[in-house]
Copies of this chain bind each other. A is one copy, B any other.
Amino acid sequence: MAAAKIIPDPNYEERVRASFARQNAMATIGAELTLVTPGIIEIEMPFSEKLTQQHGFLHAGVISTALDSACGYAALSTIPDDASVLTIEFKVNLLAPGRGVRFLFRGSVTKPGRTIVVADGQAYAIGADDEAKLIATMTGTMMAVTGREGIEG
């Protein structure tokens, strides 16, 4: 199969790290960037009792928050440096409870593009035994925007 070529902007890592640092939601959930490569991003965070749903597991929305950032930065790493990324939509499947000591979220670009970038994500719960378990998947559609153009119009 003909793979789509990803030619990263030379400053992709700096741009991803700077933008991530501005996402206050990432600090609030305790998330850190742990891998930044062209088209693949990883984010990790410890379990926190402040982020649970009613059974004491990580809330599906918090899983989605970290996956959305992972997919969005995977997209950002592949586009020109005068563009930013907006999430148009995403879908998340919750495969198992968000029960773990730590969590790892990976976002990968499935389809690069000038305007539309599609990324897929996986969320893993890591137990006290260091075993990783797939707990959720995401498919997200991102749009590269430049200048003042926005998703509003």
Contact = CB atoms under 8 A, between A and B. Distances in A.
Interface residues of A, number: 62
How many copies of the shown chain assemble into the complex?
A: 4
Interface of A: 1-2, 19-20, 22-25, 27-28, 49-55, 59-62, 64-69, 84, 86-97, 110-111, 113-116, 118, 120, 124, 131-134, 137, 139, 141, 143, 149-153
A153 B113 contact: yes
Contact of A131 (B2, B53, B55): B2
A24 B52 contact: yes
B97 A23 contact: no
A90 B140 CA distance: 11
Given A64-B65, A141-B141, A151-B97, A133 B52 contact: no
